[in-house]
C-alpha cells in the first residue's frame, strides 16, 4: 500500500483514478484522516468495513467538494441546513439529511438519511474535485482507524492502524497533521429542529448565533432512532485505561492543559496551551501512551463551553468503565 508523501496535482489525479477503480485511498482532512472509497461502489465500500473491522449497520459520511453536489445525495433539505452548509463548508461539520436514491443502504446502514461533509483540507478538496471531474459523485470515508479505536491525526497513525488491513493497490496520502484533531460536528437535519449528534469544533454557540433558533443536543433520552457509532458509550479508546480526574501513580500517563503541573512520578503526554491545542493533540497523547506501553492515563479535561464540550465528549467515551 504505497504512501504518497507529495500530494501534487498529478499524484491526486492518480489517487482519484484509483478510487474510481474501486481501491481505497486514506487521505488527510482538517479533523482526522479518513479511509476513502467510491461511495457508489458497493464492493469498494465493503472493503472499508473489512479494513476497519466495523459493523456494516454503522453508516458512512459521504465527502463532496462543494455544496453544489449536495442535491445528488440529499433531498427535502431544510432551509436551516442550507444556511449551515453555506456558512461552515468547507469545514468540520457533517449534515445528516434525507437521502436520494444515490445514497444506497450500504452507505446509510439501511437508514433513510445520509451524512454529508465538505472537508477543508487542501489535499482532501483537490482529491474530491478530481474524483468528480473523473465522473465520481462522492467519497465515503470514516476515520482511518480500526473500529472503536483512536482516530488518526497524521499519516504515521494511519499506517499504524491500517497497514496490515490494506491492499497493495490502495493508497495513503500524507497531508501533515490534522489542524482540528477531533472529528466533525454531526448535525441531524431531518427534523424541524437541528440536533447535534456528535459535538465538534463547530459548536452549539456557533450554530445558535448563525441560525437564531433552538438547537438540541443528543442525549440518550432523545427520541431519535439514528445509528451513530460516535454515540456509542465506548469509542475512541487507546489500549491504556483512561481515567478522568484522579491522582496518577508513578509511571501513569498524564494529560492536562500546560498550566496544570505534572504530578510527581507521572509521565506528561501533552501540554496544550489552550482548548484548540488540546483538541489538536489529544489523540496524539493517547497514542503516545500506547507506544510507551503505559497501562493507565489520567486526564484532566478542559472546562467550559465550545470546543471543551467536544473534548469532554470524546474523553467520556474513551474513559475506562469498570
Ligand atoms: O471528521 C469526520 O467526520 C471524519 C472525517 C474523515 O471526515 N469522519 C468520521 O467518520 O469521523 P466516522 O465514520 O468515523 O464517524 C462518522 C459518524 C459515525 O458515528 C456514523 O455512525 C455517523 O457519523 N453517521 C454517518 N452517516 C450517518 C447517518 N446517515 N445517520 C446517522 N449517523 C451517521
Ligand atoms: Mg470514527
List the residue whose alpha carbon is closest to atom 32 of ligand 1.
228
The residue whose grid cell reads 497524521 is 154
Contact assessment for residue 209 and residue 202, using Cβ atoms and an 8 Å cutoff: no
* Ligand 1 pocket: which of 112, 115, 149 to mutate (most atoms within 8 A of CB): 115
Q: Give the containing element (helix H, strand E) for 272.
A: none
* CB 183 near ligand 1, within 6 Å: yes
Contact assessment for residue 35 and residue 48, using Cβ atoms and an 8 Å cutoff: yes
* CB 201 near ligand 1, within 6 Å: no
Lowest mean pLDDT: which of 16-20, 245-249, 270-274, 307-311? 245-249
Mean pLDDT over 205-231 rounds to: 74
- Grid cell of 181 as nine digits: 484533531
Alpha-carbon distance 5 to 287, whole Å?
22
Residue 264 confidence (pLDDT) above 50? yes
Mean pLDDT over 172-196 rounds to: 98
Q: What average pLDDT does the structure give for the chain? A: 94
Residue 258 confidence (pLDDT) above 50? yes
Residue 231 confidence (pLDDT) above 70? no
Residue 297 confidence (pLDDT) above 80? yes
Cβ–Cβ contacts within 10 Å for residue 317, how many? 19
Query: Which residues are within 8 A (CB) of 149 and not within 5 positions of it... i.e. 6 or more apart?
Result: 161, 236, 237, 238
pLDDT, position 224: 44
- Grid cell of 12 as nine digits: 491526486
Mean pLDDT over 19-48 rounds to: 98
Say which ligand is closest to the CA of 62.
1
Residue 228 confidence (pLDDT) above 60? no
* CB 100 near ligand 1, within 6 Å: no
pLDDT, position 320: 81
* CB 95 near ligand 1, within 6 Å: no
Alpha-carbon distance 178 to 161, whole Å?
16
Question: Smallest Cα–Cα separation from 274: which of 293, 257, 299, 251?
Answer: 257
* CB 90 near ligand 1, within 6 Å: no
Residue 253 confidence (pLDDT) above 70? yes
pLDDT digits (tens, 9 = 90+) for 144-170: 999 989 999 999 999 999 999 999 999
Give, in degrees to the nearest 5, the angle at Cα 235 between 25 and 165.
30
Amino acid at each position: 500500500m504505497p504512501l504518497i508523501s507529495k500530494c501534487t496535482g498529478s499524484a491526486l489525479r492518480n489517487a482519484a483514478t484509483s478510487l474510481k477503480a474501486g481501491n481505497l485511498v486514506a487521505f488527510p482532512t482538517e479533523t482526522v484522516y479518513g479511509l476513502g472509497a467510491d461511495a457508489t461502489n458497493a464492493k469498494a465500500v465493503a472493503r472499508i468495513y473489512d479494513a476497519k473491522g466495523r459493523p456494516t449497520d454503522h453508516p458512512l459520511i459521504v465527502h463532496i467538494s462543494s455544496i453544489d453536489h449536495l442535491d445528488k445525495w440529499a433531498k427535502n433539505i431544510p432551509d436551516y441546513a442550507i444556511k449551515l452548509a453555506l456558512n461552515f463548508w468547507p469545514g468540520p461539520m457533517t449534515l445528516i439529511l434525507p437521502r436520494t436514491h444515490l445514497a444506497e443502504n450500504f452507505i446509510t446502514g439501511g437508514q433513510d438519511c445520509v451524512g454529508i461533509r465538505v472537508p477543508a483540507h487542501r489535499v482532501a478538496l483537490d482529491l474530491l474535485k478530481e474524483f468528480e471531474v473523473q465522473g465520481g459523485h462522492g467519497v465515503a470515508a470514516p476515520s482511518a482507524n480500526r473500529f472503536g479505536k483512536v482516530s488518526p491525526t497524521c499519516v504515521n497513525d494511519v499506517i499504524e492502524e491500517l497497514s496490515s488491513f490494506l491492499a497493495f493497490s490502495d493508497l495513503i496520502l500524507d497531508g501533515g497533521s490534522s489542524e482540528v484533531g477531533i472529528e466533525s460536528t454531526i448535525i441531524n437535519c431531518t427534523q424541524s429542529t437541528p440536533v447535534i449528534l456528535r459535538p465538534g469544533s463547530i459548536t452549539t454557540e456557533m450554530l445558535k448565533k448563525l441560525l437564531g433558533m433552538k438547537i438540541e443536543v443528543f442525549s440518550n433520552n432523545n427520541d431519535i432512532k439514528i445509528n451513530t457509532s460516535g454515540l456509542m458509550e465506548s469509542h475512541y479508546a487507546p489500549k491504556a485505561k483512561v481515567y478522568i480526574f484522579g491522582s496518577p501513580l508513578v509511571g501513569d500517563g498524564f494529560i492536562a492543559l500546560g498550566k496544570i503541573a505534572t504530578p510527581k512520578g507521572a509521565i506528561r503526554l501533552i501540554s496544550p496551551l489552550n482548548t484548540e491545542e488540546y483538541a489538536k493533540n489529544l489523540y496524539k497523547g493517547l497514542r503516545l501512551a500506547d507506544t510507551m506501553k503505559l497501562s493507565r492515563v489520567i486526564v484532566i479535561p478542559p472546562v467550559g463551553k465550545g470546543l471543551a464540550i467536544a473534548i469532554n465528549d470524546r474523553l467520556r467515551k474513551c474513559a475506562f468503565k469498570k
